Amino acid sequence: MSSYGNQTQGQVTAKPRAKRDRIGLAIAGGDVAAAVEQIVEAEAAGLSQIWMTQGTPGPDTLTIFTAAAMKTSRIRLGTAIVPTYPRHPLALAQQALTLEDLAPGRLRLGIGPSHRPIIEGVYGIPMKTPLEHLREYIAILRGLLWQGNVDHHGQFYSVKSTFPRTPQTPILISGLREGAYQLAGEVADGVISWVSPVPFIVQKAAPALREGAARSGRTAPPVIAHIPVAFSADRSAVLAATSQQLGYYGRLPFYANMFADAGFPVEAGGKLSEALIDNLVVSGNEETIQARLNALLEQGLDELLIMPITVADASAEQKHLTRLLGQM
């Protein structure tokens, strides 16, 4: 896998990176004021990167980032992810341009198709051939944010527009199964996993990413590996907390298929197996967690996207994790 560095026309150029620069923290966006304050605290603690998912329903992530950008000066702001189907690519590019004007070089735009229960069940939008839809979406964003113009007439969109500036915002995509990683290698500036076992990322996803990159004559972009972390040495408590907070994914067909590919098929009713949770979650005391995260970086993962699993006290555990990551 490669390192995230300077980019030209969507190509990643590797350069050595400090450990702290390879670790980001997931911030919840349900409470806007609290989210902004957490981003301010993360920068003060020394973190280089935060991530936020665009929830449905929920406040707008890029608007939260705009508010946070006015109170911070250097921390990178990453979306993981913004669903593509509900938001026209030109409208999203306009939002990205606005934030880039306010916080140059700090936005990393992660996008993805999301899931049928949300796109079709909530928005009422037909979800057909999601990878091809995503490929077309990226092409429009790339034209606007990197070249400054687009004249695209495809299966899903017909867009003709010109932008006044080209911030060259990194465009990352969500990765679940091998086809998405191949697409990321071909056209994206990075790929973001979500509740994916590390062996699956290393043994299946990363080779697919490199295959796609080679097919397009590119250097493989970085993998940002989603790693849930729980401050507890009580395995039963960690299993219960993870099942409560991540159990939803076992009932989503896209994720259930990925878990099966990874060798951890879900149990009856979509229940996550204990073996899967043990593989997904880094848990223990501060020293144990720090050692495990260091080992994951040494194992070849480009970046870690750390998401807290609340075991007892959400606020205290979030602050504890923020301090720990800022010291790495």
Number of H helices, E strands in the chain: 13, 14
302 is a domain residue: yes
What pLDDT was estimated at residue 227? 98
257 is a domain residue: no
What pLDDT was estimated at residue 233? 94
Closest CA to 194 of 172, 215, 213: 172
3, burial (CB in 10 Å: exposed 0-12, middle 13-18, buried 19+): middle
For the stretch 73-118, pLDDT in tens is 999 999 999 999 999 999 999 999 999 999 999 999 999 999 888 9
What pLDDT was estimated at residue 29? 83
7 is a domain residue: no
218 is a domain residue: yes
For residue 154, pLDDT over 50 is answered with: yes
What pLDDT was estimated at residue 117? 85
For the stretch 233-283, pLDDT in tens is 999 999 999 999 999 999 988 899 999 999 999 999 999 999 999 999 999
Q: How far is CA 278 from CA 148, 149, 256, 275, 310, in A?
A: 46, 47, 17, 5, 16
Chain-centroid distance of CA 114 in Å reads: 12
Mean pLDDT over residues 188-217, rounded? 96
Domain that holds residue 41: 27-240+273-322
* Tally of domains within the chain: 1
Closest CA to 79 of 71, 68, 90: 68
Percent of the chain at pLDDT exceeding 70: 95
For residue 34 the two structure tokens come to 């609290």
What pLDDT was estimated at residue 18? 79
Query: Given pLDDT bands bounded at 50, 70 and 90, which one contains residue 57?
Result: confident
Mean pLDDT over residues 302-324, rounded? 95
139 is a domain residue: yes
For residue 16, pLDDT over 70 is answered with: no
165 is a domain residue: yes
What pLDDT was estimated at residue 277? 96
Q: Which has the higher per-residue pLDDT, 169 or 269?
A: 169
Residue 300's domain is classified under what CATH number?
A: 3.20.20.30
3 is a domain residue: no
What pLDDT was estimated at residue 15? 55
**Arithmetic mean of pLDDT over the chain:** 92
Query: Given pLDDT bands bounded at 50, 70 and 90, which one contains residue 300?
Result: confident
What pLDDT was estimated at residue 5? 40
116, burial (CB in 10 Å: exposed 0-12, middle 13-18, buried 19+): middle
142 is a domain residue: yes
